Chain A
Amino acid sequence: MKLKFRIQALLSHGKNGFQAGTSPMGFAMEISERLHKPFNILARVWFEDDDILQQNEEGEHTGYDHLFIGYQDEKEYWLTLWVSRHAGLPVGIAFRTDRKVWTSSAYRKSTFTKKLNSQEVEEVFQYVFDHPEEIPIGIIQYPPNL
């Protein structure tokens, strides 16, 4: 069965650089702090099958967010994909130069109601690389250079 999903761009230009909804923006800022790298790409992946990368906890369906956090400028372009579980579970990383997708050991060990296999993870990354028009890529960094 073909994997169905769409990408929702979350960043827009605001008064003080980028802005996005509070929850994904807060998550992305924490990840940025963990990586010690700025980001200017933040996008949500909506899977048509809402069991994908979710769990059932005591009968409750989790509502994890699935977020691309990345950065592009004239020197570098990379994407990381995250599940907003606990402090953040990285699914994988890819660099535009070779587009090879590397999954994280944490993702490989994780369990979800429905998990993406490595080929499906790759498909989602390649879609984003192939459709730059769907994510706004900014030249303003977070944190902003004051």
Chain B
Amino acid sequence: MQTSLKFKIINHMTMENKGNLQFHGRPSLFATWVTIRTGFTFNRLVTLEFEDPMILQKRLRNGVTDYYPVILAEQTEDDLMLSFWVAQGHLGLLVALQYQSKPDAFDIADSYQDVISDRKLTKTEIKEIFECIFANPSVLYPVELGVGTEAEDDTQKTPA
């Protein structure tokens, strides 16, 4: 689908021979914090990098905030759950959550109100991001480190 927003998806996961899924780097600390706090389980962790660097950031007197958008997802055999967060360090706020099996049940989380930014995403833009990922779930695949198996997709990867 045509989306007006331009963004890259950055992968923070590795697998070895389709097992031993590991999360890496700063987003993995955020994922751990969310898992403990909420009780949700996740098996996909990516961050987004918008072409417009001011999206979901706030100008400060001496620079710009270093918030980063995170997608924490759970891929199961028959469904895909996406949750979108704005993180800072190992903490963050939920923006929206959706199951692929319930396309009509899309809502912005109350906590999105607490995200202070000069360029917030609109509900339509967030929905576009979700639809884009639902249509291309392979962008969420972990980097395969296994010997003798080919990575299954050709998405951009940033190995940890």
Contact = CB atoms under 8 A, between A and B. Distances in A.
Interface of A: 34-38, 76, 78, 80, 90, 92-93, 95, 97, 102, 104-106, 143
Determine chain B's interface SS by DSSP, over half rule. mixed
B147 to A, nearest CB: 11
Interface residues of B, number: 21
17 contacts: A36-B23, A36-B42, A36-B43, A78-B29, A78-B32, A78-B90, A80-B36, A90-B39, A93-B32, A93-B36, A95-B29, A95-B33, A95-B90, A97-B90, A102-B37, A104-B36, A104-B37
A32 to B, nearest CB: 9
Contacts of B35: 34-35
A36 B36 contact: no
Interface of B: 13, 20-23, 28-29, 31-33, 35-39, 41-43, 45, 89-90
B38 A105 contact: yes
Contacts of A97: 89-90
A90 B34 CA distance: 12
B39 A36 contact: no
Contacts of A106: 39
A38 B42 CA distance: 15
Contacts of A76: 29
Contacts of A90: 36, 39
A55 to B, nearest CB: 19
A35 B38 CA distance: 12
A36 B33 contact: no
Looking at B23, B36, B42, B90, the one whose CB has the most chain A CB atoms below 10 A away is B36
Contact of B22 (A38, A80, A95, A105): A38
B41 A34 contact: yes
A78 B23 CA distance: 15
B145 to A, nearest CB: 11
